[in-house]
Amino acid sequence: MSGATFPSPGEILRKQFMNTRGISIYRLAKDSGIPATRVSGILRGQRKINAESALRLARYFGNDPEYWLGIQNRYDLAEERRRLTDALSKIRSVS
């Protein structure tokens, strides 16, 4: 799994939720109450989906906040795993 790449939460938001429904940044921001600058930052990979954004996105798109936090966590873990590959390989397990 160490070489796996995951799409960013912003890519998923844009491709699977916004593009398929014809939703603009402005419309998502207006309808969900998430500031447009935050939506834009998430889409560009400069901001993470936090608990508040997850709740608002879930309400707007009719899914669970855990979905949004889960894709953010999976992405963060994949990025850290890639970044720390050498350091992690030097840690011996006690089990």
CATH number of 30's domain: 1.10.260.40
Whether 74 shows a pLDDT value over 60: the answer reads yes
Distance of alpha carbon 89 from alpha carbon 85, whole angstroms: 6
Q: What pTM was computed for the model?
A: 0.88
> Does residue 35 lie within any of the structural domains?
yes
- Condensed to tens digits (0 to 9), the pLDDT of residues 42-71 reads 999 999 999 999 999 999 999 999 999 999
* Structural domain boundaries, residue 74: 9-79
> Does residue 65 lie within any of the structural domains?
yes
> Does residue 95 lie within any of the structural domains?
no
Average pLDDT over residues 23-30: 99
In degrees to the nearest 10, what's the CA dihedral of 73, 78, 81, 84? -90
| Residue % of the chain over a pLDDT of 90 | 93
How many domains does the chain contain in total? 1
> Radius of gyration of the chain from Cα atoms?
16
> Does residue 73 lie within any of the structural domains?
yes
> Does residue 64 lie within any of the structural domains?
yes
